[in-house]
Amino acid sequence: EAQVTQNPRYLITVTGKKLTVTCSQNMNHEYMSWYRQDPGLGLRQIYYSMNVEVTDKGDVPEGYKVSRKEKRNFPLILESPSPNQTSLYFCASSLSPGQGGEKLFFGSGTQLSVL
Amino acid sequence: GEDVEQSLFLSVREGDSSVINCTYTDSSSTYLYWYKQEPGAGLQLLTYIFSNMDMKQDQRLTVLLNKKDKHLSLRIADTQTGDSAIYFCAENWSTGFQKLVFGTGTRLLVSP
């Protein structure tokens, strides 16, 4: 089954404790992206990747890191989480960027709470 | 700016039509999208419209595009309780690479 898998689904942590949210897709997609969803703000893009070893900042990259060493995986790293990073995070992928009309496939989300 | 605006909430009765509205900002957007988010799930693409079209119909869904006013709407005919969800519109922001900019989302509540 074609899917984007994120782990964990729920995570509670404390300020300053490094964490990684994993994302994996099995569709051989080139493009992957991370979003955060906050009430009243919709989805905002954190980082995206056009292909292996090609990543770039989205709209709200501060406090986050990503890597794309393999095509299928795109982990999101919070080196020193802070309470303002409490949010619902989504990973998404698509076949190739810039084609228009392409379908973004989303993971089920990771609810992160930073105390 | 990249603001894509939607009203936050819409409540309808089962069987009625629902109309969800969106205003976008980039007049050069080539595609506009509607995504649906069911409780506890990620977003799923519902439909999209190319910018040279005024209307697109897909079963119970009708998308209307007014380029002059930068206004997009999604009409759901014969709304069912299973249509209760958050609906996001999105435009592709032309930065050389097509970046999707999402609206704030409209929560649709369908009551029996």
Residue of A nearest to B94 (CA): A98
pLDDT score, position B1 = 46
Cβ under 8 Å to A: B residues 52-111: 88, 92, 97-100, 102-105
Contact (Cβ atoms closer than 8 angstroms) between residue A36 and residue A43: yes
pLDDT in tens, B19-64: 999 998 877 777 889 999 998 888 999 999 988 889 999 999 999 9
pLDDT score, position B82 = 94
pLDDT in tens, A58-107: 889 999 999 999 999 999 999 999 999 999 999 999 887 655 556 889 99
pLDDT score, position A78 = 97
Q: What is the mean pLDDT of residues A25-48?
A: 92
Which chain B residues touch A89 with a CB distance below 8 Å? none
Chain A interface disruption, residue of B43, B65, B94, most A CBs within 10 A: B43
CA neighbor of B10 nearest in space, from B79, B56, B96? B79
pLDDT in tens, B60-83: 999 999 999 999 999 999 999 999
Q: Is the pLDDT of residue B98 over 60?
A: no
Percentage of residues of chain A with pLDDT beyond 90: 79
Q: What is the largest CA-CA distance in chain B?
A: 46
- Average pLDDT of chain A? 92
Instruction: Give me the total of CB pairs closer than 8 Å, taking one residue from chain A and one from chain B.
Output: 55
Angle at B88 (CA atoms; ends B21, A81), nearest 5 degrees = 140
Are A100 and B42 in contact (CB < 8 Å)? no
pLDDT score, position A88 = 96
Between strands A110-114 and A10-13, the pairing is parallel
- Smallest Cβ–Cβ distance between B45 and the set A50, A104, A109 belongs to A104
Integer angstrom CA distances of residue B10 from A1, A39, A75, B28, B106: 34, 16, 35, 29, 7
Q: Is the pLDDT of residue B94 over 70?
A: no
Q: What is the mean pLDDT of residues A32-48?
A: 92
- Smallest Cβ–Cβ distance between A43 and the set B40, B44, B88 belongs to B88
